[in-house]
Chains A and B, each alone.
Chain A
C-alpha cells in the first residue's frame, strides 16, 4: 500500500454536508465529535472547509436545490477522499422516497460527478455515534 493511503488511514479530516436532512443525523454527527467519544484518538478532526477534508459526512436526502451544491462540494474536496452516506435518507432516501423534491440518494449524485468515487454507507435513523465510528473504521480498513 502506498504511503499516501497509509497516511490517509492514520489521519482523517472530516467535513459535514447537510443536503436537506431533518437534523437528527447532524446532531448525532456533532455528538460524535464531542470529547465523550474522543475521535481525535483516531486522528479524526472536524475541518471548516471541504478543501481540507478527506472524508465527507453527507446527511439528508438530496433535494433539487442541494444537488448542484453537493456536486460542487465533492469537486472541491481534494482527492483521495471517501464519501460517507450517514443515515437512512442519505443511503436510499428513507421515508422521503418518491417525494416531489427528491432528486436521488447521495451515491447517485456523487457518481454523476465521479463514477469511481469511494462511498461508504452508515445506516440508521439516526445512526448512533458508535455505528458511525465502526463504519469509518471498516471503510478505512478496506481502502
Chain B
C-alpha cells in the first residue's frame, strides 16, 4: 500500500548495515534525503553541489532526489535547498555491538581487578567459597586458611594465574601430617609389579564436601576403577580366597584339634577337665582378627602339666673307665676323705690322735689300692661327650677328658661346665643353661664320682631342678616354660644350624647329642612334642615357643568380634556343628595335620580345618543382606598414621 512511494527512481535502497541513522528520525522528524555519513557526521546540509557551466551555476541534484531543481543555485554558487545539520544517532544494531563489547570489557576489567586486588591476592581469593571442610581439616586450617593446602592461594596475580596451567602439589601438603607404611604415591603404598601408577591423594579423596562428610569412604566402583579384574560385588564375583584361607602356615603349637576333639576330650578320664566348647580355650572376649587360645596355664595345664616334670634331661653321666686316672690325693684334698678313708681312720683313730697330739707325722696305713673297678658301666652322656668333643663309645678317647672334668668339677664347681658350654654357645651365654645348678651340688657329685663311687642324694628329688642321681647329673623341668629346658633345646637347635665345623667321627656325637635333647619321646625333647621346630630364614632351625598369630595381611581386616556377637546371641551353642564357630571353621577329620610337623618348613601344612572360602562369607554378605562393599574388609593404605611432630600447640610455645 505504501509501495508506490518507493519507486525505483524516487527512493534509495534501505541499508541496515549502516551504523548511523538520521538524527531527525531519532526525534521523530522526517529524515532527509541523504542520510548520515557513514562516519556519523551529518550527511550534508545542502541537496546538491552546484557546478559552474560556462558562467552560470547549475543545480546538480541527483536523479533520485528529483534531478536538478527548479530554483537552481544562488548567484554565488551556494545551493538554495539547505537545511540545518542533524546529529545522527547510532542504529540499534550498532548500539548492540557496543554494549556487547562493553559488557565483555567490564567482565574482563573486573576480573583483572579481582586478580590483583588485595596485597597478595587476599581480596581476589577471599570471595571464593569452596564449601565446608570436614571437621578434622577445618580445625587446623583456620589460621592459615585455604593456603594450608592450596599453595597458590593468596599469591601474586601472575603466579596465581600461571598456577592454573600446571598441577597442584597437594599430596605434599597432605603428607605434612599423614604418614603411611610405604610410599604415599604408590598404589596401596606398596610396590605392585603390574601397572604401578603414581597416585596422588586427591585422586580418591575430595574435600569440601561438608563438615560431616566421610572422605575416606570409597564405593566399590571406585575401587574397580583401577583394578583390572572388575568385581561387581562380593557375592557375585569376588576372587576366590587363597587355597588354605585363613591358614597360610602351620601352627606354631602342635595342637591337633581333631584328636583332641574326637578322642581326648571325650575320654572319660579327661572329660571333666576338657573344655566344653571352642570358647573354653579361645578367648572370645578379646576376639579381633584372631581369637587367641588361652595360655598354657589356662588351657593346657589341666592335662599336660604332669608330663612336663617327668621329662628330665641327663646332662652328665659317668661312663665306664678302665683305670682310675684321677689323682687320689687331689681328690682327698678337694673332697675330703671318703668313707673308706674314714673307716681306716676310725680303725686307727687312737694312733692318729696320739700322733697328732705328739706332733708327729701321721702315717696313714697305706691305702691299698685294690684293683680298680669302675663304678659305672654306663655310657657317657652325649651332651658331655659333645662338650668334650669325645666319642661316646671310645673309652680311650673319653677316659681322660671326662675324668679330668670330674676332678675339675670337684675342685671348681660349675665353672668348667660353663666354660665348655661357652665355647659352643658363643653368643648365648652359658649361664642360662645351667641356672639353678649350684656348685655345691656339682662338687658333691663330682667328689663321689672322683672317688669312684655313686653319688647318693640325701633325699629323692621331688621338687624338680638340678639333682644328682647315682651316676647322672640330671635336670628336671619345674613347669611348663622352664627356662633351662628351653635353653638346652635352643642350644641343640643352635648346633643344628651348622655353626660347627665337625669331623665325620665327631658328627655322630653331635647327632646323638641333638637327638637326646630334641627327641620328643624322651627327656626335655618333650617340649618339641607341642612346640614345632621350623626353618628360619637363614637356613637354620628354631623352636616356636610362642603362639604365632596369623600372618599379617595388611590390606584385609577381619574381626571375629563383630561376627561372634552376631552369631552368638544368648543361647546358641558354639559347638553346634551348624552354628557358632563351626559355621565357618569346619573340622577336617581327615586332615594329615601331624605329618606336616615331620618336616620343618612351616609353609607346608595341612590344617585341621577346611579352608574358609568365599561362599561361606557370602551366605550373609550377599545381595540384599549384610553389607558387602570393598571397604568392609579391605584397606587401601598401609598402616596409615599421623606424623605427630606437626601437631603443635602454639599456646605453650613460650
Is B truly associated with A?
Answer: no
Residues of B that sit less than 8 Å from A by CB: none
